[in-house]
Amino acid sequence: MVCINEIKKFLKKNLSMSRYNHTVKVTALAEKLARKHGIKKLTEIKIAALLHDCRKTRPGAGEHSFLSARAARKKFGIKDKDILNAIKYHTFGNRRMNDFAKILYLADISEPGRNFPEAVRIRRMAFKNIDSAMILALTAKIRYVMSSGFPVSIESVMLYNNLVNQKI
Ligand SMILES: [Fe+2]
Ligand SMILES: [Fe+2]
């Protein structure tokens, strides 16, 4: 398994200060959520969180999820599917997400540095119920994307529909 200090060194060199700080907050929150929900792979969730934005060079560009997953595989030799899928799906979501991936998604969107109005609600709900928190998070994200005039990811909508249908 790749060394966490090695990853941190790489991130410090390659990420802006604000993105590095975001990454550290996502990692702390993801670990707390994983413990709360009984996820056994704690080292793996930390690695996924540390690397989730490792190839993000400009704001808003969704392809960084796929580029970051590829860097995790190629640069750090990560083969663990949970880690790779969580990184891949952290921006748009995906119907095949498991709890591990959902925790990274929730930690990313609601870490304490996020200052949009729903962030606190999403974070609180994330400790109680992962899927309810995902619905809140996807609602906020889809609404934001639409109000900004950007196209909505079909994966986000399908994941949202699946989660809502499960609840009805
Ligand atoms: Fe990201
Ligand atoms: Fe992020």
CB 51 within 8 Å of CB 89: no
The 10s digit of each residue's pLDDT in 6-42 is: 999 999 999 999 999 999 999 999 999 999 999 999 9
pLDDT for the residue numbered 53 = 97
Q: How far is the CA of 43 from the centre of ligand 1 (A)?
A: 20
Q: Which residue range is the domain that position 34 belongs to?
A: 4-167
| Residue 159 binned pLDDT confidence (cut-offs 50, 70, 90) | very high
The 10s digit of each residue's pLDDT in 106-143 is: 999 999 999 999 999 999 999 999 999 999 999 999 99
**Strand, coil or helix: what is 109?**
helix
Q: What is the mean pLDDT of the chain?
A: 96
The gap between the terminal CA atoms of the chain, to the nearest Å, is 41
61 pLDDT above the threshold of 90: no
| Residue 2 binned pLDDT confidence (cut-offs 50, 70, 90) | confident
Query: Tell me, what CATH number does 156's domain have?
Result: 1.10.3210.10
Q: How far is the CA of 162 from the centre of ligand 2 (A)?
A: 24
Q: d(Cα 140, Cα 24) in Å, to the nearest integer?
A: 23
- Tokens found for residue 120: 């606190």
Q: How far is the CA of 114 from the centre of ligand 2 (A)?
A: 10
Residue count of the chain: 168
| Residue 62 binned pLDDT confidence (cut-offs 50, 70, 90) | confident
| Residue 60 binned pLDDT confidence (cut-offs 50, 70, 90) | low
Whole-prediction pTM:
0.96
Our count of domains for the chain comes to: 1
Q: How far is the CA of 168 from the centre of ligand 2 (A)?
A: 31
Q: How far is the CA of 168 from the centre of ligand 1 (A)?
A: 30
Q: How far is the CA of 129 from the centre of ligand 1 (A)?
A: 22
**H helix runs in the chain, sequence order:** 4-14, 17-36, 42-51, 64-74, 81-88, 99-110, 119-128, 130-147, 154-167
Give the environment of ion ligand 1: residues with CB less than 5 A. 53
Please name which of 59, 66, 82, 41 lies closest in space to residue 74, comparing C-alpha atoms: 66
